[in-house]
């Protein structure tokens, strides 16, 4: 009996010792007598909380019986058999709660994965703008004064390529934000119009050479960014386009700002000289504003949009050229 009590005291002491030493070691060895020992190996420090709730009297009774019978063929009962009654109930509730929490977290993660794969908010597409461009003065079109920079509508093409991101903000409300490149082509009405510049301004003059003139134009290339809020009555997540097969019978409309940065500009003439067709280009800034900004209107149905762009700032630097505001219109698909 004294031996039993001594072992119990040792185990109680070792339990306290383990709690204090968990940070320093995973294994605790307790010597019993001259040549025997009891070893505690802790793989998970969370088990120390369970050890506090053990009924050591029951545990030691079973241990001594097995040692007296020299029965080492089987282990002791399940660890839950040695927990105090109130501890078993608490442990069961805690484990069930943790299991439910884990199942809830798994369900939420699966739901998030489902939403990410099936309900994305932003879709990307490519769009091509094709139309015509012109410009106006404070008094209307330059045609009224028969200016040398008067534009011939047919042949003054506006061309643009854009990568469009469509983001759903509400049920039928979207933001279409895009990056792209565009070309203004101003084809002059007078085929003999020639562009040049001095230190003060751009100059439009009449080319007096005895040649067969066919064309004269000004081209300006811009990198652009736009942000157009759209109402799509069909609620299409993706912008309809003939290039990717995503079309719809719904009607949509939107208005928003854009800004562009000039990356190139040149004048070009086409004429025949000594039986040869020549197309000389003169790459120059011609006092064009480096920045253009304005408003874009889009009205669409199925996979085609009608667009209208109007530059709020002037085409040329102030006092360096005629006061002209450029605009363009056409189809986007």
Q: So where are the chain's domains?
A: 2-83, 120-332
pTM for the model: 0.64
Question: What confidence tens digit (pLDDT) does each residue in 107-149 have?
Answer: 555 555 544 444 468 999 899 999 999 999 989 999 988 999 9
Question: What confidence tens digit (pLDDT) does each residue in 265-296 have?
Answer: 999 999 999 999 999 999 999 999 999 999 99
Q: Do 314 and 327 meet the contact criterion of CB atoms below 8 Å apart?
A: no
Question: What confidence tens digit (pLDDT) does each residue in 233-271 have?
Answer: 987 877 777 666 665 678 999 999 999 999 999 999 999
Residue 295 CB coordination number (10 Å)? 16
Q: Do 309 and 292 meet the contact criterion of CB atoms below 8 Å apart?
A: no
Give the domain 120-332 fold. Answer: Porin (2.40.160)
Q: Please tell me the predicted confidence (pLDDT) of residue 119.
A: 47
Question: What confidence tens digit (pLDDT) does each residue in 314-323 have?
Answer: 999 999 999 9
Q: Do 164 and 127 meet the contact criterion of CB atoms below 8 Å apart?
A: yes
Q: What is the DSSP letter of 80?
A: G
């Amino acid at each position: 009996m004294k031996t039993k009590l001594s072992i119990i005291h040792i185990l109680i002491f070792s339990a306290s010792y383990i709690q204090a030493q968990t940070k320093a070691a995973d294994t605790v060895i307790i010597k019993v007598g001259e040549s025997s020992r009891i070893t505690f190996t802790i793989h998970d420090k969370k088990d120390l909380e369970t050890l506090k709730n053990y009924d050591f009297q029951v545990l030691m009774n079973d241990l001594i019986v097995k040692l007296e019978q020299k029965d080492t063929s089987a282990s002791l009962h399940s660890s839950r058999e040695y927990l105090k009654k109130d501890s078993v109930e608490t442990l069961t509730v805690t484990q069930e709660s943790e299991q439910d929490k884990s199942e809830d977290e798994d369900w939420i993660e699966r739901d998030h994965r489902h939403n990410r794969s099936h309900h994305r908010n932003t879709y990307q597409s490519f769009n091509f703008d094709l139309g015509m461009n012109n410009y106006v003065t404070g008094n209307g079109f330059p045609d009224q004064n028969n200016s040398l920079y008067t534009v011939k509508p047919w042949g003054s093409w506006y061309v643009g390529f854009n990568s469009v991101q469509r983001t759903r903000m509400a049920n039928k409300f979207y933001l279409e934000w895009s990056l792209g490149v565009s070309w203004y082509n101003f084809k002059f009405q007078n085929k003999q119009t020639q562009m040049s510049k001095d230190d003060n301004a751009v100059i439009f003059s009449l080319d007096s050479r005895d040649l067969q003139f066919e064309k004269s134009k000004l081209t300006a290339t811009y990198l652009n960014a736009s942000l157009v809020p759209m109402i799509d009555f069909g609620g299409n997540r993706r912008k309809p386009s003939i290039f990717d097969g995503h079309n719809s019978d719904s009607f949509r409309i939107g208005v928003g700002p854009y800004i562009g940065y000039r990356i190139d500009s040149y004048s070009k003439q086409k004429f025949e000289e000594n039986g040869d067709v020549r197309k000389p280009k003169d790459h120059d800034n011609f006092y064009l504003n480096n920045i253009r900004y304005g408003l874009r209107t889009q009205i669409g149905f199925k996979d085609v949009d009608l667009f209208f762009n109007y530059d709020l700032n002037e085409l040329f630097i102030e006092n360096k050229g005629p006061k002209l505001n450029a605009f363009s219109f056409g189809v986007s698909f």
